[in-house]
Structure 1
Amino acid sequence: MRASSRFAAGLALAGSFLTGVDAAIQTVTRNGRYLYTADGNRFYIKGVAYQEQGAVVASASNPFLEPSTFIDPLADGTACTRDLPYLQQLGVNTIRAYSVNSSLNHDSCMQTFSNAGIYTIIDLSLPGNGSMDRNAPTWTTNLLDLYIETINVFSKFNNVLAYNVGNEVIIQPNGTAAATFVKAAARDVKAYLNSIKSSALVGYASIDGDATWLDPLANYLSCDPSGSNSGAAAIDLFGLNNYEWCGNSTFEASYAGTEGNFAGYNVAAYFSEYGCITSPPRLWTEVGALFSSQMSPVWSGGVAFSYFPATSVQGQFGMVTISTDGSTVTPSSDFTNLQTQYAAASPPNSPSQSAAGTTSYPSCPQQNSTWLASNTLPPTPNFAACQCLENNLSCQFTPTTSNYTAIVGSLLNYACSLIGQAGGTCAAISSDGTTGTYGAVSECDPTIMLSYVMSEYYIANGANAQSCSFGGNGTVNSKAPSSASAANAAATSCLASATGASVPTLPADAPSATVTTSSSGSGSGSSNAASVVLADARTLMGMGVLVAAGIASGLWTIA
């Protein structure tokens, strides 16, 4: 692998730090708890977060100032070409992108970064409705399809290091039951990657927290719930968003506890975000510790946050400023300080790949007061089964507005409250990560859940057409079975195969991976500046629509 003379001195450090602009990028694989390039060198993630921040609306329900829209950082070839020299000056070998639009063209950016020896870690979720809801998590066909469509688009690129199935989904002990859905997502994404012979790793990025629930979370995501030492449901790469090192701290003061907690971890781990801003300027002295022999037995590097400016409750992150016209990059002292620290980092090239051993997948942690997740996972969402069910439902959701995501949750609440008042149940659409109980329809798209509940109410009211109206949002399906017994039999038949784990497949009518922008992928990127809307709106309608239904679950008679 050849490199420009400008960076020749830094390339002598280790095979993993190669950033040459002329050579083919090497495949990175995991052996035991370590990462290695194809030539057998230990690989350390020397990265930076690379995502412009979308629109942020501060509110009590958004304590982390998470964006409601996103700008795809890998769809603007001109911007990627503009930023490449600065990424090379930083000496990074990896960038992390938090949200990408599978309908856009990523060829220019991905090729630019591949030619420069820069890998990508791609988060599969999207802001808001394209991710698991922390308060009402589920794992359904629409979210699985969104993930797979993104993988399909990026699978042709040789510099995808990993896909993250979630970022900070679990943020406190009483939310740890959501881990069952994260683990199911990792299981299904891993199965799909294996089916297309992709070497990309499957990861999760966790918020830092108290060891009483963070340790079980890390162990749960890398454990084997079957007890057979199988890694089929285990992640390959655990990311920790860690901001403990502030100012000119020390390993003992900031990282010793975390290092000890992960000392026996069984898969690869890295800091998926780091860079405390509470003691400016950022000196980045934690880089020396993270890439030292003191931490290399556990950690495989990290991703500094953030290349672009990013606002948080703590203040302003960011290492560069982009001019209004998008043509000029101005680095800050954060940039130059990190550049200095990355240039000095020299992690050990050990253990050797042959000495790394194989991974052992232990049994999963048991439930307690701070760890609520069941070891029984949700089934793999089955689009064909859910489509079959929808076709046989007596009452179908036919919204009067194209922006139907705004009404699905309230209609689910309303329909379930009516059924509850009549002594019925909405258990078929409910999921419980604590008990490991998942209703037969809980893996389906929320619109199909709604059609199912509306049909239950319609049949319970003697197939009265008015009972299917729901404010004009429901229509009687003339092709559906007319009797309750026949309807139940049809539903049971459709869902008979939708149990357990399987290799996911895209629905036949899913949007293809063909691009909808110019083949060059260049431009101002303005078309990405707002919330993305794919051809199939159902694909983007995620778990957010179920929040209201979860809050109002007290109205339901759950069996």
Structure 2
Amino acid sequence: MLTGLTLAELPEISIYGNKFFYPNGSQFLMKGIAYQADTANITTGQTIIDPLADVDVCKRDIPYLEELGTNVIRVYAVNTTLDHDECMSLLDEAGIYVIADLSEPGVSVDRSNPSWNIELFERYKAVVDQLSGYSNVLGYFAGNEVTNDNTNTDASAFVKAAVRDTKAYIKSAGYREIPVGYSSNDDADTRVQIANYFLCGDEDEKSDFYGINMYEWCGSSSFKESGYSDRTDEFKNLSVPIFFSEYGCNEVTPRKFEEVPTIYGEDMTDIWSGGIVYMYFEETNNYGLVTIKNDKVSTLSDFNNLKSQIDDLTMVTYKSSEYTPTSVELSCPTQDSNWKANTQIPPTPDQDTCDCMSKSLSCVVSEDVDESDYEELFDYVCGQIACDGVTGNGTTGQYGSYSFCSAKEKLSFILNLYYVENDKSKSACLFDGSASINSDATTESGCKSILSAAGTDGLGTISASSKTSTARSSRSNSGDSTATNASASESASSSNEAVILLPFKKQSLAEMTITGLLMLCFVAGMGLVVF
């Protein structure tokens, strides 16, 4: 990546008010193309076709992007293990900037079960590390259509945390100030609330720009008939750049792109900063501008129609010296039937916190348990005790101290909590071998303040001052989940210890019940009393 620092030549684009500007004060309007082949075509087991890593493909496609007057491409996922120097240099020479999504297929905020965790944050940081040395990186998307209707607005709290932490990481790593934003869909019930949500509150949590995937103009229409006029009025008070992060309705084909003069004309450029056409490659969804066969490019009617519109385009732009930003402080949306996301967002994922917690546990999930079996254990244990220390709720704004840890770490925490709440009974850490006693449980001196702040149940708030470097470890002898000693717990059992009947990982609930009855009969036959 370091070589990328010397390759870039394009001037860095900056944000001033609700507009992008070149260093010379000229306004920058996006004339963009979404540029990434569908991963569904992959037959090699890869999850990403990285459009910035294949030099031959870049050389093949860039001339066509230039034909369309492209100055931005949007890429939806990059492979952080590959080299991007040559493609980024070729794009730079062609005058093309890149706006990159930070997630990848399978590693993103899931709207149906949202979380902001260490795996996600590591992925986001890896993309930032990979691309931030190039001056033609325009910005990053922390999410794309994560909330897409009023049934999953709580997920936006987790994406907003991703915006906050990515911005902070860029700053702490010493990179230039690359903006981080969000790309939304155009849902009628939530489009205003979601924009306000990502742009309200503390500066370190706000999106630096805002994109909308806009497909309202279909066929022949107009500024007013299409809905563009209404959208412009709705978003006129946004204090950051807003643009179409995707556009190009294909309900009428071939697409004529008659909206292009309006997007770059006097009705819109005071509020909007251009847009990104969806998309370069023809796929089964029929949004492509070109087809690729035997590594050869063939342009489609959509390509030619877009080119005609771009060639005839006269853009209305502003000079920074003649522009005075107006700052309107947006209020965060009120929680109601259409909007559930709380303004309290998840904590920053921190591996040291998870490590401290994991090392302190006396009862942990066994190493040979498949991750696919974790859910059954979670369901059982969380039916017996409160598991709030490892969960997060974007509606209530309550997040456990360990909600960002890995599934294995979180499962071990609740197994240990169950073990402690059952007086460290040996049978409370069995689960037919799915759990086991950790005889090496420790509380390292640097972890004491973290574990104390988190509390036994993991519901405390861990402040920055609590996070000190882990020093030499010390054996723990206290009786809570933050500092347990396996040897002490084992010696604590007595002759009248209660037998804890637990699920077996390969048994159904019916089988568990039968097993429990058999155990009771066996114990009764031995002449022991079961309490």
Distance 1:420 1:400, change over 3 A: closer
Distance 1:493 1:275, change over 3 A: same
Question: Equivalents in 2 of 1:54, 1:501: separation in Å?
Answer: 40
Q: What is the CA distance between 1:462 and its match in structure 2?
A: 5.2
Q: Which residue of 2 aligns with 1:180?
A: 157
Say if 1:55 and 1:68, in contact at 8 Å, map to a contact too: no
Q: Aligned ranges for residues 460-471 of structure 1 at < 5 Å?
A: 460-461=421-422, 463=424, 468=429
Question: Equivalents in 2 of 1:219, 1:469: separation in Å?
Answer: 49
Q: What is the CA distance between 1:153 and its match in structure 2?
A: 1.0
Distance 1:491 1:250, change over 3 A: same
Q: Which residue of 2 aligns with 1:40?
A: 25
Say if 1:49 and 1:305, in contact at 8 Å, map to a contact too: yes
- Counterpart residue type for residue 380 of structure 2: L
How many percent identity over aligned positions?
37
Question: Equivalents in 2 of 1:278, 1:302: separation in Å?
Answer: 19
Distance 1:421 1:244, change over 3 A: closer
Question: Equivalents in 2 of 1:283, 1:358: separation in Å?
Answer: 35
Q: Which residue of 2 aligns with 1:267?
A: 240
Distance 1:498 1:383, change over 3 A: farther
Distance 1:27 1:491, change over 3 A: closer
- Counterpart residue type for residue 322 of structure 1: I
Distance 1:454 1:35, change over 3 A: same
Say if 1:31 and 1:353, in contact at 8 Å, map to a contact too: no
* Residue 454 (1) aligns with residue 415 (2): yes
Say if 2:8 and 2:89, in contact at 8 Å, map to a contact too: no
Q: Which residue of 1 aligns with 2:451?
A: 492
- Counterpart residue type for residue 238 of structure 2: Y
* Gap runs ≥5 in structure 2: 1-6, 471-531
- Counterpart residue type for residue 234 of structure 1: K
Say if 1:268 and 1:299, in contact at 8 Å, map to a contact too: yes
Question: Equivalents in 1 of 2:251, 2:328: separation in Å?
Answer: 39
Distance 1:498 1:446, change over 3 A: farther
Q: Which residue of 1 aligns with 2:510?
A: none
Q: Which residue of 2 aligns with 1:100?
A: 78
* Residue 217 (1) aligns with residue 217 (2): no
Q: Which residue of 2 aligns with 1:113?
A: 91
Q: What is the CA distance between 1:445 and its match in structure 2?
A: 2.4
Q: Which residue of 2 aligns with 1:416?
A: 378
Aligned-partner SS, 1:342: helix
Question: Equivalents in 2 of 1:124, 1:448: separation in Å?
Answer: 25
Say if 1:56 and 1:68, in contact at 8 Å, map to a contact too: no
Q: What is the CA distance between 1:489 and its match in structure 2?
A: 7.3
Q: Which residue of 2 aligns with 1:166?
A: 143
| CA-to-aligned-CA distance 1:406-447 (integer Å, 9 cap, x gap) | x1xx51x3233333443x111111111111111111122233
Aligned-partner SS, 2:123: helix
Say if 2:359 and 2:442, in contact at 8 Å, map to a contact too: no
Q: Which residue of 1 aligns with 2:484?
A: none
Say if 1:36 and 1:43, in contact at 8 Å, map to a contact too: yes
Aligned-partner SS, 1:55: helix
Question: Equivalents in 1 of 2:273, 2:338: separation in Å?
Answer: 28
The structure having more radius of gyration, on CA atoms, is 2
Q: What is the CA distance between 1:355 and its match in structure 2?
A: 2.1
Question: Equivalents in 2 of 1:501, 1:243: separation in Å?
Answer: 44
Q: Which residue of 2 aligns with 1:279?
A: 252
- Counterpart residue type for residue 347 of structure 2: P
Q: 1:434 aligns with which of 395, 400, 404?
A: 395
CA-based RMSD: 2.9
Q: 1:291 aligns with which of 240, 248, 264?
A: 264
* Residue 191 (1) aligns with residue 183 (2): no
- Counterpart residue type for residue 225 of structure 2: A
Aligned-partner SS, 1:337: helix
* Residue 362 (1) aligns with residue 340 (2): no
Say if 2:157 and 2:342, in contact at 8 Å, map to a contact too: yes
Aligned-partner SS, 1:109: helix
Q: Which residue of 2 aligns with 1:530?
A: none
Q: What is the CA distance between 1:213 and its match in structure 2?
A: 1.7
The number of residues matched between the two structures is 451
Q: TM-score, normalised by structure 2?
A: 0.79
Q: Which residue of 2 aligns with 1:310?
A: 283
Q: Which residue of 2 aligns with 1:348?
A: 316
